[in-house]
Amino acid sequence: MADIEVDVVVLGWGKGGKTLAGALGRAGRSVAVVERSAQMYGGSCININCVPTKALVHQAEGRPDGVDAQDWFSAAIGQRDDLVAKLRARNHAMLAEVDAVTLIDGHARFIGPHQVEVQAGDDRLVIDAETVVVNTGTIPAAPDIEGAAGSSCVYDSTTLQHVEPLPRRLVVVGGGYVGLEFAGMFAHFGSQVTLVDHHDELMPGEDRDVADAVRSLLADQGVEFILGGAIGSVRDEGGASARVVVAPSESADATELDADAVLLATGRRPATTDLGLDVAGISTDDRGYVVVDERLRTSVSGVFAIGDVSGGPQFTYVSLDDYRIVLDQLTGGGTRTTTDRVAVPSTTFLTPPLARVGLNESQARAQGHDFLVATKRVADIAAMPRPKIVGETHGLVKVIADARTDQILGATLFCVDAQEVINLVSLAMRTGTTATQLRDSMWTHPSSTEALNEVLAGLQPSG
Ligand SMILES: Cc1cc2nc3c(=O)[nH]c(=O)nc-3n(C[C@H](O)[C@H](O)[C@H](O)COP(=O)(O)OP(=O)(O)OC[C@H]3O[C@@H](n4cnc5c(N)ncnc54)[C@H](O)[C@@H]3O)c2cc1C
Ligand SMILES: NC(=O)c1ccc[n+]([C@@H]2O[C@H](COP(=O)([O-])OP(=O)(O)OC[C@H]3O[C@@H](n4cnc5c(N)ncnc54)[C@H](O)[C@@H]3O)[C@@H](O)[C@H]2O)c1
């Protein structure tokens, strides 16, 4: 017997779920949103992931010479916390003010395909809903490292945002999005950073010239690398420091490092523990992600999974697009699918940022495209004075175009404002705007978009 019955219940306050709840509630559908932590109203993006980390990256970039590193870091954390508190309150208000939306605190778990139990302390509430949307996100996946679980020096991307004091020596394990962003950020804050990844090369999926440029940027910022190695053990040494043993994958001797903090940035796993997916009969894959089709439908009719938990690319704007797909099924023609997404961009927030869309050169070659490529170091792009104005001339711009159709196949922008300009290149790819049109367009001056005028003039057959 249910305590409440609603049209739609959203489990977890993720980007897609909160947007869906607001839209359906404003349209007069009864909606319940269940969130297990009051510190997470508004979801991961605004509370612990995208926004706070980018605020810290921005603060770190601005640290003036001569300022005490610890004072600057403490102030940056204070500013981060103030920003997050404001965003969380605003996110709560945005749903609380919609009459048809009920906000429920507690841990949600399926007790039937369309029945959810919410537990908050000793309180228990049962919700019945025709439509259930699972939007519970992911949590850090910690590798099994001897001594790590009990060590006071081991952090994840959430806990390291409040590390106290600023670590003098930081070991970052993992050279993906989180590892690269935190390595750059903490190097700017003043930590001595060592990045360890078990691949022999940094960013193995990237073109070598791009990966080398990233490595040399971070090296210039003071980051050291141990590649082809995994952390064998972490042993607390007392006095808030640890001895980290890096076991090389091949024959070389193990390396030992002293660290005040170790960040595990080795990927994430779905937040499905104690969610009762099996009780509801909802299928998961071998990594625990909820299996969905191209309309985000799970194996149970009327149950959708959106955002990170559905096993797709883990970005906030993908979760937002998931909302559009589900909304289209609940209120529209039901034609939107994940397969109609074209040219989804991404950015790693280094200083300067590294933004990517479409194919890189290696992928274009592997796929047998007849393509042209243009690459230019940012410092050499005369028609793009903005990096020189802001004093950040690291990086390169690289664009791949189809030799016959002139369509853009992909771009890597590793420069100031890359997180903005990449959206324009993505739109060009989606709308069929050609490389020549981008090359010959008028762009504001001085801007970073102007790179396209000069770099695209250098398109030539790949060597
Ligand atoms: C450090 C870091 C930085 C990132 N930076 C970026 C970035 O700059 N740009 C970008 O696009 N992406 C970034 N990402 C990825 C991005 O944060 C995620 O893709 C996005 O937040 C996913 O949101 P979601 O909709 O899946 O759910 P989430 O926002 O993760 O929300 C899930 C919610 O469900 C709640 N929950 C879980 N289980 C239950 C339960 N059983 N009952 C009730 N509630 C539950 C959780 O508390 C949480 O609030 C970053 C990720 C990390 C780790
Ligand atoms: N700017 C952004 O958009 C942004 C920022 C942060 C995170 N994210 C999202 O969050 C997701 C998770 O990020 P992430 O960096 O944790 O994962 P990731 O998958 O991007 O990178 C994990 C890295 O850890 C390495 N690794 C794994 N196990 C290891 C081990 N035992 N020892 C050494 N290295 C090991 C892998 O080789 C890989 O380089 C990303 O896929 C991304 O979608 C996005």
Q: Check whether 398 is labelled as a binding-site residue.
A: no
Query: What amino acid is encoded at 426 in this protein?
Result: S
| C-alpha dihedral sign at 440, 443, 446, 448 | negative
Among 397, 426, 423, residue whose Cα is nearest residue 412: 397
Strand partners, 133: 10, 304
Q: What is the Cα–Cα distance from 183 to 328, expressed in whole angstroms?
A: 40
**DSSP states along 225-289:** EEESEEEEEEEEEETTEEEEEEEESSSSPPEEEEESEEEE-S-EEES-TTS-HHHHT--B-TTSP
On the question of pLDDT at 255 being above 90, the answer is: no
Backbone angles phi, psi at 261, to 5 degrees: -150, 145
What's the gap in Å between 110 CA and the centre of ligand 2?
30
Ligand 2 binding site (Cβ under 6 Å of any ligand atom): 143, 173-179, 181, 196-199, 230-231, 265-268, 314-315, 346-349
Cβ pair 258, 243 in contact under 8 A? yes
Q: What is the Cα–Cα distance from 55 to 87, expressed in whole angstroms?
A: 13
Rg, C-alpha atoms of the chain: 24
Strand 31-35 relative to strand 4-11, pairing: parallel
Backbone angles phi, psi at 239, to 5 degrees: 60, 30
Q: What is the Cα–Cα distance from 198 to 237, expressed in whole angstroms?
A: 25
pLDDT at 314: 98
pLDDT bin (cut points 50, 70, 90) of residue 1 is confident
Q: Check whether 54 is labelled as a binding-site residue.
A: yes
Strand partners, 32: 9, 102
Pick the CATH number of 4-140+269-340 from 1.20.950.20, 1.10.3720.10, 3.40.190.10, 3.50.50.60: 3.50.50.60
- CATH top-level class of 154-266: alpha beta
H or E segment to which residue 138 belongs = strand 138-140
pLDDT at 18: 98
Each residue's pLDDT tens digit, 357-404: 999 999 999 999 999 999 999 999 999 999 999 999 999 999 999 999
pLDDT bin (cut points 50, 70, 90) of residue 252 is low
Strand partners, 461: 372
Among 397, 398, 373, residue whose Cα is nearest residue 463: 373
**DSSP states along 42-89:** T-HHHHTSHHHHHHHHHHHHTPPTTS-HHHHHHHHHHHHHHHHHHHHH
On the question of pLDDT at 251 being above 60, the answer is: no
Structure tokens at 54: 């980018």
Is 154-266 in the same CATH topology as 4-140+269-340? yes
Q: What is the Cα–Cα distance from 248 to 267, expressed in whole angstroms?
A: 20
399 SS3 class: strand
Non-local CB neighbours of 123 within 8 Å, separated by 6+ positions: 106
Q: What is the Cα–Cα distance from 22 to 42, expressed in whole angstroms?
A: 12
pLDDT bin (cut points 50, 70, 90) of residue 250 is low
Each residue's pLDDT tens digit, 12-28: 999 999 999 999 999 99
What's the gap in Å between 159 CA and the centre of ligand 2?
16
Atom of ligand 1 nearest to the CA of 118: 42
Average pLDDT of the chain, as a whole number: 96
Q: What is the Cα–Cα distance from 419 to 427, expressed in whole angstroms?
A: 13
Q: Where are the domains of the chain?
A: 4-140+269-340, 154-266, 346-461
pTM of the model: 0.97
What's the gap in Å between 309 CA and the centre of ligand 1?
9
- CATH top-level class of 346-461: alpha beta
In testing the pocket of ligand 1, which one of 316, 346, 422 has its CB within 8 Å of the most ligand atoms? 316
Each residue's pLDDT tens digit, 117-152: 999 999 999 999 999 999 999 999 989 999 999 899
